[in-house]
Structure formats: C-alpha cells, structure tokens
Amino acid sequence: MIIILATMETEGSEAGENGARFSRLAIEYAKKYQGKIQTLPKVPVKSLNDFSIWYTPGVAAVSLEIAKNEDLSFEMTWRWNSVGIVTDGTRVLGLGNIGPYGAMAVMEGKGLIFKYLGGVDAVPIPINVHDKDEIVKVVKAIEPAFGGINLEDIESPKCFYLLEKLSSEMNIPVWHDDQLGTAGATLAGILNALKLTGRIPEKTKVVFFGSGAANIATVKLFKAAGFDLKNIVMVDSKGVLHAEREDMDSLMKNNPWKYELGLQTNGSNIKGTVVDALEGADVLIAASVPGPGTIKGEWIRKMAKRSIVFALANPVPEIWPGEAKRNGAEIVATGRSDFPNQINNSMVFPGVFRGALDSRTKKINEKMIVYASMELAKFAEEKGIDENYIIPDMTEWEVFPRVAAAIASKSVEEGLARKKATREEFYLRAKEIIEKNREIIEKLMNMGYIEDIGR
Amino acid sequence: MEIKIRDLEENDLKEATDLVVRLKKFNSEHDPLFALTEDLDNVVMKYLKESITMDSRDVLVAEEEGKIVGIVLAEIVDRLFYQPLKEVRITELYVLPAYRKKGLGKRLIDEIAKKEKKKGCNIITVEFPNENLLAHKFYTSQGMRSIICVYGKML
C-alpha cells in the first residue's frame, strides 16, 4: 500500500475545508432528523390483546420473578443489552464546558455508534448535576436500568474520581471512554508499532506529551500491559513531570492520579522540557493541544532511530504526519480518518461493551482492556501490518466481535462474568447480534423508514 | 539507603529552605489568608538560620546521602494557664514526595518529641491550615486530635 503524504500546507487547508463542511451538514441534518436514535419494539404486536402479555396483567409475573432474583433482569428485560451514556457536559469534545443540553447531540452520536458497531442499546443521559459526589449518587441510582455505564465528556480530574468510585461501588461495568477507549486504542496501535520496529514493551522509552485524562489513563494501561513506568516520562504545560517538581504538592491535593504517576514514572529523573524528555525516546504519544506546530520537527529528530509518533489532538494533530516522517519518525498515527493509522476509540468501546454485556460482567478491569487491545492489534497483524496499517479501521467491522469475545472470555477468567461461555461461543453470539443490528438498520433504510439523506 | 535524622546545620540551609518554601506554597493554596509574603525564600532562610542557635526553636532534618529529604520545625511554647506547662508545637513538617508513605513523617515527629521532652515539654501540638485535609488525616493517624480552633478574616 502506497500512501503519498501531502505537504504541510495542503494538509492544513484540507483540514479547514472539511471541518467547515462537516459542521454545515451536521446542523442541516440535525434539523432534518431531529435526533439520531429512537426506541423500537422487539416483540410482535399483532393486536392490542398482546399488551396483556407485554404489559398488564401478564407482565406482573415477570416483575415478581425479577424482584425475587435481580440477576434475572439480565435475562427477562432489555437490561442485558442496555448502556447509559452519562455526561455532565463539562468537557464535550474539544469544546469544553458547554453543559448537558449541548452535550446531548454528541451523546446521541455515541449511541448511534454503540448500536451500529456493537449492537448495543445505548441511552444518552446528559445530567444537570456537576458536583462529583452528586454525580455518583445519580449514576448509582440508575443502576437497575442498565447493564453498563459509559461515562462521557466529563472533565478531569473529576472523571478519575468518578470512574474509580463508581467501578468499585457498582455491580455493572463502568467505563469512561475518554480515558479507557483512547487508552485501549492507543495501546493496540503501539503494540503493532513496536512489533514493526523490533521493540518490546518492557524496554521501550515512551514520552507522553499532555497529561490530561486520556494520557493519564494510557500510562496506567501501558503499565498493565508490561511497560516499565520508569521508562515513561510525562510532560505537560509546566514541563517534564518528576517527583520533585514544584507543583507536586498541589497535584497531591488536586489530582492525586497525576501525582502518583509523578512519583512512579521518569526513573532517570529527567527535568526540563519536552525536548529533554525526547532525547533518545522510542515513542512519543501526544494528546495535548491541536497543532500544527505544537510539536516541532526538530524535536522528533532528538528521538531514537525508527521512532514512533502518535499525534492524537483533534481536529488537527500536534504535528502533521508528513513533517514527523521527514524528521525521522518511522510510524505516525493521528486521531484522524484521512491519514493512515487512526487512533479511534470507536474501535474499542463497541466491542468492549458487546463483550461486557454478553458476559454480564460486573466490571471491566485493566487486564480485560489490555486483552482487548491485544486482540485489536492481532486482527491487524493477521491481515498484515506495515507502517501505514497498525490498527484496523471502522470499515473492518469483523473486528468488533473479536474484541467482544476477548473481553467476555477474560471476564470469565477474572471471575467477573455472570454468564459463562467459551471464547468461540461469545464470538459467535457477538457476531450474530452485531450483524442482525446492521441488517435491521439497512432494512429500515431500504424501506425508507430511515429517510435517505437526499444527496 | 539509610535516612538519618539530625539537627539542622548551616550547610543545610539552602536545601532546608527549599523544603519549607514548598510547604508554605502548599499552605497558601488552602486559604487566601495564607497569601505568601514577598521575598519568601530569604525570610525562610533567615528564620531557619536563627533557629539553629535559639533555645526556644528546634529544627531537625532527614538526610539521605547528603540530600535533605525531610524537615520538622518546632517551637517551645510556655503555657501559663494550663498544665502541662510546656508544649512543643510543630510549625512545619515536610517530606519530599518521593520519600512519603515510608514512615519518615512519623520518625521526624518522634525525634522532635524525644528531644523536646528532655527540655521539659510534656505536650506536643501541631499547626496547619484547617483546609488541609491530608494533614488532618495524617495527624489523626499519629494519635493527635483537634484541641483549639483559630478563626480569621481580613480587616
């Protein structure tokens, strides 16, 4: 596969034009369709008498059964396949704190991807509550309705507290996609990039540029995947993070997660700026502020030979792939679909939740996510990886049931699954559900119930 | 590597000042009434230097291979109206982040308590910003409790 990278100027102007076009169309279609998802019955209604079974009086018997054994809610109601997408609207995409009403449009989009790629019934729940302990109360209160919770677009460091607290106190899996989805996709891409450049996780030096939710979660996941934290250096707007940095006490108070990483990472006690950190580094993972020019080409030249650069800021990566390559990077990934190697959490969460729901797991732990990332990497490897293909893209939908089976079987192994089956059984079930949902959507489009976009 | 606890010496002043300045900066995050004085570094260094020779103040440092990694400052306070009559009050206790959770804070408190007990102090107290929740937790774990409140406002 040959991909010719455009020059910096073209890369930049195309990004601008596309962005404006997508915005215009999104507004036009939002007005036309007035929402992106809806509920539909999954039982036959041939006459109104059928409601005596689906609703009262018949349904009372079902309720009594479930009341006696709550786990039956996974067998006798839609709970087994439903996920609540909860946001307080404090960090919506790159827009910042736009509040829960504005966040709804994004959550609907998320719901659509959940359905289309994972066959999951996901319900957007933007909430008008911002205090962290109040959010905990709200999310715990809706546990009976769902088989899983996807936290979305919640500001850092609140998001760390919520994920930790809710995961430990709820009996359904809680996921924060901005942390875990991004971390899972990044790990998958890196695993293949390491294979291609002859490296192993244990000895790879990684610099993380930007210390927001995504990168903090990614560092933690890298640790679970066998990377040595001492070989990892985190950099933020104040420079290299190290145990004696002036603001460490402040971090201890305000962001203990970052504080802990300040203590555990950077074994060589590097101080200074990102340039100092990049000297001889194998991998750069940037999730900071949009570029171009956030990362300079000359910095890449400081890195080890055959370096790996992930520039994940959206909508414009910290450095254009062409520039990174001209300065010595062998493998470059971004967050964008118009360049090779898109690191996209949509490759992770639909499969993860499919598997989590199918195994009725109580939690999704780090081991399970690492396992899912490895499966994602393996899928690409089986097809043949090269510098422009280190991770599958969204068109390769066959990967989602594979990720689902990885999550579900690991959940059984970890003793977290309510429902046990073999990896093969989980795979076939996930495949069947995802295929069926895609068919339903296709049929609805063919029959005109989902109106054509008219282009 | 062994961490030694010993009296503050002139040679330590630069490093010791850095630790106390860190603590003062941390204190200032907890309440605007702890806004930092100008020229903080020099003020702290002068204060520490005086403490070396003063009877009513003691400073101990924790040292690992020539590096100062922790510090405790204490003042001896006369109690006119209550018994016991002499109190040692810890005004600063700081341990570098990488050396925390290893019992060093407790060792510093124990050592200063031992030293001041010999000078007739039979009660040990500590002061810190009320909003410093981590300090509440730490000193409670050391068997101490809140015994006095200081309220304040700007005039």
Q: Which residues of B touch A262 (CB under 8 A)?
A: 97
| A249/B25 touch (CB, cutoff 8 Å), yes or no | yes
- B90: Cβ contacts below 8 Å, ≥ 6 apart: B72, B73, B74, B109, B112, B124, B125, B126, B127
- Min Cα distance B141 → chain A (Å) is 18
Q: Is A241 on the interface with B (CB under 8 A)?
A: no
Confidence of residue A2 (pLDDT cuts 50, 70, 90): very low
Confidence of residue A18 (pLDDT cuts 50, 70, 90): confident
Q: Is B29 on the interface with A (CB under 8 A)?
A: yes
Q: Is A253 on the interface with B (CB under 8 A)?
A: yes
Q: Is A262 on the interface with B (CB under 8 A)?
A: yes
| A243/B22 touch (CB, cutoff 8 Å), yes or no | no
* A/B interface, count of CB pairs below 8 Å: 27
pLDDT of residue A7: 45
Mutate to test the interface with A, among B23, B34, B134, B137 (most CBs of A within 10 A): B134
Q: Is A259 on the interface with B (CB under 8 A)?
A: yes
Whether the predicted pLDDT of A1 surpasses 80 = no
Q: What pTM was estimated for this model as a whole? A: 0.92
Q: Is B97 on the interface with A (CB under 8 A)?
A: yes
| B97/A253 touch (CB, cutoff 8 Å), yes or no | no
Q: Do A321 and A371 meet the contact criterion of CB atoms below 8 Å apart?
A: no
Instruction: Point out the residue among B29, B97, B134 whose CB comes nearest to the CB of A248.
Output: B97
pLDDT of residue A380: 98
| A253/B25 touch (CB, cutoff 8 Å), yes or no | no
Q: Which residues of B touch A249 (CB under 8 A)?
A: 22-23, 25-26, 29, 97
Nearest chain B residue to A259 by CA: give it. B97
Bridge-based pairing of strands B67-78 and B86-95 is antiparallel
Instruction: Point out the residue among A243, A249, A259 whose CB comes nearest to the CB of B26.
Output: A249
Which residue in the list A29, A33, A68, A110 is annotated as catalytic?
Answer: A110
- Min Cα distance B69 → chain A (Å) is 10
Bridge-based pairing of strands B123-126 and B86-95 is parallel
pLDDT of residue A419: 97
| A249/B98 touch (CB, cutoff 8 Å), yes or no | no
Confidence of residue A15 (pLDDT cuts 50, 70, 90): low
Q: Do A229 and A265 meet the contact criterion of CB atoms below 8 Å apart?
A: yes
- What is chain B's pLDDT, residue by residue, as a tens digit (155 residues)? 799 999 999 999 999 999 999 999 999 999 999 999 999 999 999 999 999 999 999 999 999 999 999 999 999 999 999 999 999 999 999 999 999 999 999 999 999 999 999 999 999 999 999 999 999 999 999 999 999 999 999 99
Which residue in the list A29, A33, A42, A55 is annotated as catalytic?
Answer: A55
Average pLDDT over residues A271-293: 96
pLDDT of residue A44: 96
Residue B127 DSSP label: -
Axis-axis angle for helices A349-358, A99-118 (nearest 10)? 70
Q: Do A61 and A49 meet the contact criterion of CB atoms below 8 Å apart?
A: no
| B97/A250 touch (CB, cutoff 8 Å), yes or no | no
End-to-end Cα distance, chain B = 50
| A243/B97 touch (CB, cutoff 8 Å), yes or no | yes
Instruction: Answer yes or no: A55 catalytic.
Output: yes
Average pLDDT over residues A313-331: 96
Instruction: Point out the residue among A250, A262, A263 whose CB comes nearest to the CB of B26.
Output: A250
Residue A161 DSSP label: H
A348-385 pLDDT, tens per residue? 999 999 999 999 999 999 999 999 999 999 999 999 99
Mutate to test the interface with B, among A248, A255, A261, A269 (most CBs of B within 10 A): A248
Residue spans of alpha helices (H) in A142-268: 158-169, 177-196, 213-224, 248-254, 256-264
